């Protein structure tokens, strides 16, 4: 990886793209430290210092915003509204025929879907911004903070509207910055910004574990966490690169005087076909009961059960439920994102077939069978990786912002691999030498 970056900086075109991307990342991090108008910054810092339990329900969103959410900055909502909008539209594509037709139209259809994603992102940013301001005003954002209800001193409608508009504009700006990286930089812009947000929390998280450690001044725990993190990265790289290659043979066809086809290729089915989406789905679903209890303030039996079993991440019921939800959503997302019948029909249309398997329905059944077989280890791997922060919370007495969490490692390794692949492909295009010189 480091060799690829070193060679890229020696190429003028790639150097400009890399420097442009780094500049956008720096600008993105600066915006994560600019407070929203109407917020008492001193009280926010006081509550941040008093929060000892990992900042509870908002931990996942805070991680995706690079810590900007709990500091209530202009980039407080981060990239989450765009991620949510993208997932919603991807799910609706399977249900709504109009969106499915747009997806099949190619680049023009994809441009319209992207435009719909932007509109939905702004709508979700308004909704989430309103919820965040209401939570901050009520003092529930930091739990038992002594000055939690003084974070927004002026609770007029004008101040509230200004805060919501500012955070919505911040989300729109993040979306624009991500598209700039995609057009003029290296890699997928939204993924790069997500990578930046998560990586920004690593130094403070690691240093916090060192300060809380008790063995050898905390350095032993620090070293154990580093070793654990490197092992997780190696495991994630190994599984993310693993794939089942199904061979496909295309029959030779004569069109006029030219011969087409007669080639061999393969369909790459990844072991982790769903990526990090099941972990996000499961985390979001588990937050809903606890959020309902927090906002309603109910003292009923169900509310007490939720507070006892589904709020603390180290509770056995929480861990088992979290693991089962990840496995379920892994199969669910693979089922809606990969259509074996559509792949089989396209292969049949262009004269392709899997050796030993008849074209058409038998091919679709075979692809479905293979996909189910490889999704099982992929879903179990996702569930185990996602539980690593919980195990660390119990064994190392770390806070819930454990830096090498399952979601963060999956995203960082995935984005890193894809970015390096793009750099290497562009380097090969520029440095390719043929047989004749």
Output the CA torsion sign for 89, 90, 95, 101. Answer: positive
pLDDT bin (cut points 50, 70, 90) of residue 101 is confident
- pLDDT score, position 349: 82
Helix (H) or strand (E) holding 355: none
The answer to whether the beta carbons of residues 218 and 212 sit under 8 Å apart is yes
- Whether 105 maps to a domain, the answer reads yes
Count of domains for the chain: 2
- pLDDT score, position 262: 64
Does the pLDDT of residue 434 top 50, yes or no? Answer: no
> Both ends of the chain: CA-CA distance in Å?
29
- Whether 418 maps to a domain, the answer reads no
Helix (H) or strand (E) holding 20: helix 12-31
Q: Is 213 exposed, middle or buried (0-12, 13-18, 19+ CB in 10 A)?
A: buried
How far is residue 302's CA from residue 315's CA, in Å, rounded to a whole number? Answer: 17
Half-sphere exposure of 262 (CA within 13 A, CB side): 6
- Whether 422 maps to a domain, the answer reads no
Please indicate, yes or no, whether residues 192 and 225 belong to a single structural domain of this protein. no
Express as a percent the part of the chain with pLDDT over 70: 81
pLDDT bin (cut points 50, 70, 90) of residue 319 is confident
Instruction: From 200, 221, 252, give the residue that closes a domain.
Output: 200
The three-state (H, E, C) secondary structure of 31-52, written as one string: HCCCECCCCCHHHHHHHHHHCC
- pLDDT score, position 53: 47
Please indicate, yes or no, whether residues 215 and 348 belong to a single structural domain of this protein. yes
> pLDDT tens digit string along 366-403?
999 999 999 999 899 888 888 876 666 566 555 555 56
More confident residue, 312 or 94: 94
| Residue in this structure with the two tokens 């690079």, named with its chain if needed | 66
Q: Give 205-268 as a DSSP string.
A: HHHHHHHH--GGGGHHHHHHHHHHHHHHHHHHHHHHH-EEEEEEEE--EEETTEEE---EEEEE
Most confident residue range from 222-226, 280-284, 341-345, 419-423: 341-345
Q: What are 203's two structure tokens?
A: 């130094």
Does the pLDDT of residue 242 top 80, yes or no? Answer: yes
Could you give phi then psi for residue 121, rounded to 5 degrees? Answer: -60, -45
| Residue in this structure with the two tokens 């189910």, named with its chain if needed | 372
Does the pLDDT of residue 223 top 50, yes or no? Answer: yes
Mean pLDDT, range 114-141, rounded to an integer: 86
- Whether 413 maps to a domain, the answer reads no
- Whether 419 maps to a domain, the answer reads no
| CB-based contacts of 302, cutoff 8 Å, min separation 6 | none
Please indicate, yes or no, whether residues 148 and 244 belong to a single structural domain of this protein. no
How far is residue 253's CA from residue 307's CA, in Å, rounded to a whole number? Answer: 66
Please indicate, yes or no, whether residues 299 and 353 belong to a single structural domain of this protein. yes
- pLDDT score, position 396: 56
Please indicate, yes or no, whether residues 249 and 297 belong to a single structural domain of this protein. yes
Q: Beta strand 264-270 with 258-260: parallel, antiparallel or unpaired?
A: unpaired
DSSP state of 73: B
- Whether 366 maps to a domain, the answer reads yes
- Whether 420 maps to a domain, the answer reads no
Please indicate, yes or no, whether residues 60 and 28 belong to a single structural domain of this protein. yes
- pLDDT score, position 123: 92
Please indicate, yes or no, whether residues 252 and 385 belong to a single structural domain of this protein. yes
- pLDDT score, position 403: 61
How far is residue 291's CA from residue 287's CA, in Å, rounded to a whole number? Answer: 6
Give the domain range for residue 7: 1-200
Does the pLDDT of residue 296 top 70, yes or no? Answer: no
Please indicate, yes or no, whether residues 147 and 228 belong to a single structural domain of this protein. no
More confident residue, 217 or 347: 347
- pLDDT score, position 54: 47
Q: What are 305's two structure tokens?
A: 């059960």
Q: What are 319's two structure tokens?
A: 């861990």
Could you give the strand order of the β-sheet that contains 352-353, starting from the edge strand earlier in sequence? Answer: 264-270, 243-250, 352-353
How far is residue 51's CA from residue 49's CA, in Å, rounded to a whole number? Answer: 6
Q: Mean pLDDT score of the chain, rounded to an integer? A: 79
Please indicate, yes or no, whether residues 196 and 228 belong to a single structural domain of this protein. no
- pLDDT score, position 126: 92
Question: Residues of 306-321 as b/e, b for ≥16 C-beta within 10 angstroms?
Answer: bbeebbbbeeeebbeb
Q: Among 3, 7, 6, 2, which residue's Cα sits nearest to residue 431?
A: 7
Q: Is 97 exposed, middle or buried (0-12, 13-18, 19+ CB in 10 A)?
A: exposed
CATH number at residue 24: 1.10.3370.10
> pLDDT tens digit string along 164-220?
999 999 999 999 999 999 888 888 888 888 888 888 877 777 777 777 766 666 677
- Whether 424 maps to a domain, the answer reads no
pLDDT bin (cut points 50, 70, 90) of residue 90 is confident
Please indicate, yes or no, whether residues 240 and 98 belong to a single structural domain of this protein. no
Please indicate, yes or no, whether residues 280 and 380 belong to a single structural domain of this protein. yes
- pLDDT score, position 397: 56
Please indicate, yes or no, whether residues 117 and 179 belong to a single structural domain of this protein. yes
Mean pLDDT, range 397-419, rounded to an integer: 71
Q: What is the pTM of this model?
A: 0.78
């Amino acid at each position: 990886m480091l060799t690829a970056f070193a060679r890229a900086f020696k190429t003028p075109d790639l150097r400009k793209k890399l420097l442009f991307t780094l500049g956008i990342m720096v600008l993105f991090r600066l915006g994560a430290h600019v407070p929203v108008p109407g917020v008492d910054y001193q009280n926010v810092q006081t509550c941040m210092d008093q929060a000892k339990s990992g900042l509870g329900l908002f931990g996942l969103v805070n991680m995706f915003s690079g810590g900007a959410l709990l500091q209530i900055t202009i980039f407080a909502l981060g990239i989450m509204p765009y991620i949510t909008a993208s997932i919603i539209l991807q799910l609706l594509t399977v249900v709504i025929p109009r969106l499915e037709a747009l997806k099949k139209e190619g680049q023009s259809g994809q441009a319209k879907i992207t435009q719909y994603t932007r509109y939905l992102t702004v709508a979700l940013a308004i909704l989430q911004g309103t919820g965040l301001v209401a939570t901050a005003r009520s003092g529930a954002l930091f739990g038992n903070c002594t000055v939690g209800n003084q974070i927004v001193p002026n609770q007029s409608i004008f101040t509230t509207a200004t805060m919501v508009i500012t955070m919505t504009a911040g989300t729109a700006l993040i979306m624009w910055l991500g598209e700039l990286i995609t057009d003029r930089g290296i890699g997928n812009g939204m993924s790069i910004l997500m990578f930046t947000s998560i990586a920004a929390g690593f130094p403070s998280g690691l240093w916090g574990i060192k300060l809380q450690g008790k063995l050898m001044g905390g350095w032993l725990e620090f070293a154990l966490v580093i070793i654990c993190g490197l092992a997780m990265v190696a495991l994630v790289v190994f599984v993310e690169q693993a794939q089942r290659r199904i061979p496909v043979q295309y029959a030779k066809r004569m069109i006029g005087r030219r011969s087409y086809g007669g080639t061999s290729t393969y369909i790459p089915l990844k072991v982790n076909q769903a990526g990090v989406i099941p972990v996000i789905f499961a985390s979001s679903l588990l937050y809903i009961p606890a959020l309902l209890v927090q906002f309603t303030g109910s003292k009923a039996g169900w509310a007490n059960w939720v507070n006892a079993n589904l709020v603390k991440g180290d509770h056995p019921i929480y861990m088992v439920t979290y693991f089962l939800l990840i496995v379920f959503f892994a199969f669910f997302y693979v089922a809606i994102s990969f259509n074996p019948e559509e792949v089989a029909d396209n292969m049949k249309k262009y004269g392709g077939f899997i050796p030993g398997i008849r074209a058409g329905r038998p091919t679709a059944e075979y692809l479905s069978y293979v996909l189910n077989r490889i999704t099982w280890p992929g879903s179990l791997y996702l569930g185990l990786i996602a539980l690593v922060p919980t195990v660390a919370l119990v064994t190392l007495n770390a806070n819930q912002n454990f830096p090498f969490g399952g979601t963060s490692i999956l995203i960082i390794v995935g984005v890193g691999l894809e970015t390096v692949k793009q750099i290497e492909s562009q380097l090969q295009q520029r440095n390719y030498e043929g047989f004749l010189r």
